[in-house]
Amino acid sequence: MSTMAAVLSEDNRALLRLIRDQRPKSLTALAALSGRRVPNLSRSLRMMEGYGLVRLKRDGHGVEPVALATSFKILID
């Protein structure tokens, strides 16, 4: 539960919405939109990529973040 809470924190959910709505073409552009530093974003996005929430499209010039999930339903048995 604590891992899920960290992955789906309010900051991370806001970041996913920002990526979905603004479609930044680079981590630098996302940093400017979010007010967060690139190294901080990179760590958060790599973690979210591991959970299938974000795809980091790598090309020869950089990394473009793509939100794969922006709404969540959590069922606890």
pTM over 0.75: yes
**If 0-12 CB within 10 Å is exposed, 13-18 middle and 19+ buried, where does residue 50 land?**
exposed
55 is a domain residue: yes
- Domain interval for residue 48: 2-67
CATH code, domain with 37: 1.10.10.10
Mean pLDDT of 38-53: 93
Which residues are registered as beta bridge partners of 57?
A: 64
Domains contained in the chain, number: 1
Number of helices and strands (H, E) in the chain? 4, 2
Residue 74 tokens read as 């959590």
- Banded model confidence at residue 13, pLDDT cuts 50, 70, 90: very high
Does residue 77 fall inside a structural domain?
no
Domain presence at residue 63: yes
- The answer to whether 73 and 20 are in contact (CB under 8 A) is no
72 in any annotated domain: no
